[in-house]
A = this chain, B = another copy of it.
């Protein structure tokens, strides 16, 4: 099937399921926004439920594979590692703009444990890999709780990128990864001064 049409269907579905609960999400809206006919949607998916389940699988696999593929495993600095992950996520969101809010809805309907299991099923050891493989924890000061420090780094980068993406939604420009990286670094330098030797 035509890949551009495929993307339209995916984005329209992500949008509808992000804005409405499964029950209230309307297949009529999806086909209208995707620019296809009702019959075609039901040609590819046998029911609304099947479309929804397929979407969930698609989103998780896409995000996990992109991260695993594009991450630089030689980077030993946890600051840079976390930054990389968020930048990769932003690239995916640029292609599928409604993926972020759709994921949030999925997160809310599952418990933390279910979520972890789901991800571990797709890619065993995913979390421990991305946040610790080849990372040099010796860079932290001895008296710093590395676990808490990592949380602060993560929270800072996530909130910063959230604020950026909120602004991005309104304009129609492309994401300026260089500018983001530069401004993020200004925050990270401040944190590095405290956490690293």
Interface of A is mostly: helix
Are B19 and A152 neighbours in the complex by a CB distance under 8 Å? no
**CB < 8 Å: which of B21, B145, B156, B160 contacts A190?**
B145
* Contact across chains for A152 and B148 when beta carbons are under 8 A apart: no
Query: Smallest distance from the beta carbon of A139 to chain B beta carbons, Å?
Result: 15
Q: Please list 12 pairs of residues, one from A and one from B, whose beta carbons are closer than 8 Å in the complex, sorted by A's number.
A: A20-B21, A20-B24, A144-B190, A151-B160, A152-B152, A152-B187, A152-B191, A155-B155, A155-B160, A156-B156, A159-B159, A194-B194
Least distance between A183 CB and chain B CB atoms (Å): 9
Q: Are B148 and A186 in contact (CB under 8 A)?
A: yes
> In the assembled complex, which residues on chain B have CB atoms less than 8 Å from the CB atom of A186?
145, 148
Pick the residue among B20, B158, B159, B194 that contacts A193 (CB under 8 A): B194
- Counting CB contacts under 8 A, is A170 at the interface? yes
Q: Is A3 an interface residue (CB 8 A)?
A: no
List A153-197 residues whose CB lies under 8 Å from chain B. 155-156, 158-160, 166, 170, 186-187, 190-191, 193-195
Q: Which of B20, B152, B160 contacts A20 (CB 8 A)?
A: B20
> Which among A111, A151, A158, A190 has the greatest number of chain B C-beta atoms within 10 A?
A190
Q: How far is the CB of A188 from chain B (nearest CB, A)?
A: 10
Q: Which residue of B lies closest to A155 (CB)?
A: B159
**Are A187 and B148 neighbours in the complex by a CB distance under 8 Å?**
yes
A156 to B191 Cα, complex, angstroms = 12
The 7 lowest CB-CB distance pairs between A and B, nearest first, are: A194-B194, A155-B159, A24-B24, A155-B155, A152-B156, A155-B156, A193-B194
- Asked whether A111 and B21 contact (CB < 8 A) given A156-B155, A156-B156, A158-B159, the answer is no
